[in-house]
Amino acid sequence: MIRASRFGWPSLRWPLHRALGVTATTRASFAAYNTAAEVDVLLAALDSVPAVFGLEEVAS
């Protein structure tokens, strides 16, 4: 399950958001029933995030 929300525990996330200069984060929850294929789909989706939002990927 992927949860994308700007709500819930804001006092814990706001310092991180400020430090990283971002306005939102997401969290992925895994359980015993998740498959490797589902994890691969999540990782592929995360790779596409910069393009979806019109951002350039930062070289590491």
Would you state the structure tokens that stand for residue 9, as one six-digit string? 């525990």
Whole-number pLDDT of residue 35: 92
Q: What is the mean pLDDT of each run of 10 residues along the chain (60 residues)?
A: 52 79 79 90 88 68
Whole-number pLDDT of residue 36: 93
Whole-number pLDDT of residue 1: 47
Are 26 and 17 in contact by the 8 Å Cβ rule? The answer is no
Whole-number pLDDT of residue 7: 54
Please state the φ and ψ torsions of residue 46, each to the nearest 5 degrees.
Answer: -65, -35
